[in-house]
Copies of this chain bind each other. A is one copy, B any other.
Amino acid sequence: MEKIKVGVLGATGAVGQRFVQLLEGHPWFEITALCASERSAGKRYADACRWNLRGDMPASVRDMVLLPCEPGPDCQIVFSALPSETAGEIEEEFAAAGYIVCSNARNHRYDPDVPLLIPEVNPEHLGLIEVQKRARGWHGFITTNPNCSTTHLVSALHPLHVRFGVKKVFVVTMQAVSGAGYPGVSSMDILDNVIPYIGGEEEKIEHKEPHKLLGAFDGSGVRPADLLISAHCNRVATRNGHLEAVSVEFVEKPTLDQLLEAWRDYTPLAQQLRLPSAPQPAIIYDERPDRPQPRLDRMAGSIPGMATVIGRLRPDPLLHYKFMVLGHNTIRGAAGGSLLNAELLVAQGYLGRTHAFLAESVQMA
């Protein structure tokens, strides 16, 4: 069967490059369009893009000519790695023109009719798509994935939330420099240092994203989850991998073994469907006393960079329990999150029955 044609908006930036890298050799998708700013449009990708990831730029994209970020390219899905200055309008134009937009930008994350999606956590929020298309009169639609630090926090909490009800969360993040893009954090600022501030990050975690992600879809909208979160966000001198110290209180206090069991038994829809980018398992619990660590564990699991790694579960003197969470910020926390969202859309039939069959056949194998 033919692969599904996809495009990347903002293909030359740090997140755009990750999309290109992750899509190379993808079993369902093939890149047919790379779009960039007007300044770069018309150039070869290899000429316009300073490739910044380990390994070489995939040969298949080197000679592709960059298109402007306007509807027109021959593809069904566009992955948006656009900066927030331009993402808002451009994504709307593509959705209006019938494209499926899987966005990593923050612009539409909090729109009531746009799914903020982690396939393992809230696939039922895809119901918002119909609401969105109807409300906006669009042929296509927009889905988004959460911020990198939220993604792994909520991934770790979700299996606990469904069983025991998460009420209160303390989280202190130690975030990698790649989370700020490229060039992002100056070496002058971070060598031999920690910066105890990341603009807007604490607000996203405390008030916006986890509540929507863990909220309930009622057919017309998402009722935010009722939980209290306190977040301190810090930038540390790691390249990749956000590490988070988390303390949690539940509606009903489980035993420590019940928590471990909730993570161990966690096999949500994305894993059941065997989506190509869904790690098996979704959550890894590492029993070693000094893990997870960013350098050693950010690529752990069956799909490097897509799993959430947890460790050091122990009682908390204030709330019920505490533990460490680690996840890759530019793979699952950015481009990989959007990609998995697109795979879920395929498997759920949002690209038509034929492609859903494709997904099912994978699942059967």
Contacts and interface: CB of A to CB of B under 8 A. Distances in A.
A245 B172 CA distance: 7
A196 B291 contact: yes
Interface stretch (A35-43, A84-92, A177-185): A177-185
Interface in A143-201: 168, 170, 172, 174, 177-178, 182-197
B191 A324 contact: no
A199 B247 CA distance: 19
A192 B192 contact: yes
A317 B187 contact: no
A295 B230 contact: no
Contacts of A317: 206, 228-230
Interface stretch (A26-34, A128-136, A235-243, A332-340): A235-243
Given A237-B237, A247-B230, A290 B196 contact: yes
Nearest to A229: B317
A134 to B, nearest CB: 35
Nearest to A172: B172
Contact of A236 (B237, B245, B299): B237
Contact of A228 (B168, B195, B296, B318): B318
A196 B243 contact: yes
Contacts of A191: 177, 187, 190-192, 237-239, 295
A164 to B, nearest CB: 18
A188 B247 CA distance: 29
Given A174-B236, A196-B292, A186 B188 contact: no
Contacts of A186: 182-187
Given A172-B172, A186-B185, A192 B247 contact: no
A186 B318 CA distance: 33
A311 interface: yes
Contact of A193 (B183, B185, B293, B322): B293
Interface of A: 14, 52, 54-55, 168, 170, 172, 174, 177-178, 182-197, 206, 228-230, 232, 234, 236-239, 243, 245, 247, 289-296, 299-300, 311-312, 316-319, 322, 324
